[in-house]
Amino acid sequence: MRTIGIANHKGGVGKTTTAVNLAAGLARAGFRTLLVDVDAQAHATFWFAEDPADIDFDLQDVISNGVPIEKAILNTRIQGLDLLPATLALAPLETELVSMTRREDRIARALADVETSYDFAVLDLPPSLSLVTLAALAAATDVIAPVSATKLAVGGLGAFLSWTDDFRGEGVITAPLLGILVTMVDSRTRVSREVLDALRDSDLPLFEAAIPRRVAAEDQVGGRLVVGDDEANPDLAAAYQAFVNEVIARMGVTRG
């Protein structure tokens, strides 16, 4: 199993939208995929849980309460895609981790039980530089950082990358940065073009695919639409499909 952490400590940069589309795209490409919602806001969960009232357990139960991970995992409407959901109960995990031994290993150890059941796990991370984020990044074999095409987001990206590099230096994070995905690109605005050009001129591993800013993105949330759905916005779907294809190519995996 390859475990992809979708991470950036800044909120609102497209992490969750990217995680749900990547997970759906990988499943639809034939890979057995587990989407893991590591954010107590539970937005990724909302996308795929048929009825949130049906959720009995989440990652916090697995890590803190000894619930077997298989009991927490739900099927989704997409064949080959399962969900380890989040609920508000995930919020105390941060403080619970503090008093645990080998706290950075806890998410990796939870996922180890389904290591052979999936080709990919896609982790939707919270917008924080926290223990939960660190434990999720420590579980990852690859990291993808979405960044919105705004000056502030790009400024914050450097801080995030150097934070992860510190933990790579300590051996806590071993996953390389697979790539940076630029989201919410508005090609009509100068700032968007400038940001994209600056990133392309940098030596950061940018994905060639970039996600356009579309008002329809909000409807996709309400309609719970992802790449591959007939009703999905064609521009967003095409951009996310190109991104999924690049991820598959960069990881050098063959279709399941």
Lookup: tokens for 34: 């587990």
List of long-range contacts for 235-241, beta carbons under 8 Å, 24+ apart? 236/211, 236/212, 239/209, 239/210, 239/211, 239/212, 240/18, 240/21, 240/22, 240/25, 240/209, 240/211, 241/25
- The entry of ligand ADP, Mg ion, none that residue 20 binds, CB within 5 to 8 Å by partner kind: none
Which of 15, 28 has the CB closer to Mg ion?
Answer: 15
CA torsion sign for 142, 94, 154, 43 is positive
Among 218, 249, 252, 255, binds ligand ADP (CB under 6 A): 218
* Of residues 50, 98, 97, the one with CA closest to residue 74: 50
Contact call for residue 214 and ligand ADP (CB under 6 A): yes
Least distance to ligand ADP from the beta carbon of 212, Å?
A: 6
Among 33, 213, 247, 248, binds ligand ADP (CB under 6 A): 213
- The entry of ligand ADP, Mg ion, none that residue 179 binds, CB within 5 to 8 Å by partner kind: none
Contact call for residue 248 and ligand ADP (CB under 6 A): no
Which of 7, 29 has the CB closer to ligand ADP?
Answer: 7
Q: What is the per-residue DSSP string for 100-158?
A: STTGGGHHHHHHHTTTTT-SEEEEE--SSSSHHHHHHHHH-SEEEEEEESSHHHHHHHH
Which of 109, 224 has the CB closer to ligand ADP?
Answer: 224
Which of 25, 146 has the CB closer to Mg ion?
Answer: 146
Q: Which residues contact 130 (CB under 8 A, 6 or more apart)?
A: 94
Task: Give the integer Cα–Cα distance in Å for 216 and 178.
Answer: 28
Amino acid (one-letter) located at 114? V
Which of 103, 214 has the CB closer to ligand ADP?
Answer: 214
Least distance to ligand ADP from the beta carbon of 235, Å?
A: 9
- The entry of ligand ADP, Mg ion, none that residue 17 binds, CB within 5 to 8 Å by partner kind: ligand ADP
Among 74, 177, 196, 221, binds ligand ADP (CB under 6 A): 221
Residue ranges in contact with ligand ADP by CB under 6 A: 11-17, 43, 127, 183-184, 211, 213-214, 217-218, 221, 236
